[in-house]
Amino acid sequence: MKWPCCTLIAVGVVVGLTSLAGCGGRPPIPKRGVVEQDLGEWHFRRFQPVKDVEVWVEGNAAEGYTASYVRDQAEKTGHIEDDDLVNVFVTRFTADKGVLREMVKFARRLAADSGYQVDEGKVGGVRAVTITGNGEAWVMWPSKLHVIKVGGHNRQDVPGNIVAKYGDRYPSVLPNGVLEGPLPGEEPVETKPGEDEPYDPNNPRPDWDKYDKDKTDQKIKDAGKKQDDGEGEDDK
């Protein structure tokens, strides 16, 4: 039986959507880091690999990828302002170790600079830090093996739809409260009282995990009985 061409196309679309849904619906991570296609009203215009990366992790090699997007309407009119341009930087690391920590340190350094306002929250449904000031606006977050930065110069904000598209490919692993408190990896380890103190033979501390009150009381009674028996023998 021969199927009409339109029917085959329809079946192909259904199969494609079913396959996408079966794998959770999350688009794959781009091979070259950035999305080299239009994102809604934002038209992809340029790709460029870079060697210098902003977030540097000692012993963890990284490479960067950048993409530029232009607003559709501005491109049609031929009049493009800074607000009609969005840049994306994706840094790819060889390992996860230290990525979150160093990205948080980078954000805190900018927060310490009086020219920048750094906050944390959600943009386009992606948990990230927002960086504004000195004529710039950026949204930045860590993901597995990656750090993503979206924004541009002479902007007041960052388009949430572009952040959302990249967030689909690079889910954020940014925890709450990263701008204050210990850096990730420096959280204090909870210890039992006296656990970290050196052993003092003149003032030993009990091992509370193995402490048995009944056995201890019995040992005290036995020791007292032996002492009484010894004194009784001395009196004879």
Closest CA to 80 of 29, 30, 43, 50: 43
Q: Is the pTM of this model over 0.85?
A: no
Is residue 225 situated within a structural domain?
no
- Closest-CA residue to 90 (of 61, 135, 53): 53
- Rounded to the nearest integer, the mean pLDDT of the chain is 81
Would you say residue 56 lies in a domain? yes
Residue 72 lies in a domain: yes
Q: Range of 82's domain?
A: 33-169
Q: In this structure, is residue 76 part of a structural domain?
A: yes
Please give the tally of structural domains in the chain: 1
Residue partners of 68: CB distance under 8 A and separation at least 6: 44, 45, 46, 85, 86, 87, 88
Provide the H-helix boundaries in the chain. 5-22, 72-77, 99-112, 160-169, 213-235
62-108: pLDDT as tens digits = 999 999 999 999 988 888 999 999 999 999 999 999 999 999 999 99
Domain membership flag for residue 90: yes
Per the domain annotation, does 211 fall within a domain?
no
Q: What phi, psi does 205 have (nearest 5°)?
A: -105, 145
Residue at 23 is within a domain: no
In a domain, 26, yes or no: no
b (16+ CB within 10 A) / e for 130-153: bbbeeeebbbbbbbebbbbbbbbe
- Give the pLDDT confidence score for residue 164 in this predicted structure: 97
Q: Are 155 and 143 in contact (CB under 8 A)?
A: no
Assign 160 to helix, strand or coil.
helix
CATH code, domain with 152? 3.40.1000
Please write the tens of the pLDDT for every residue from 128-154.
999 999 999 999 999 999 999 999 999
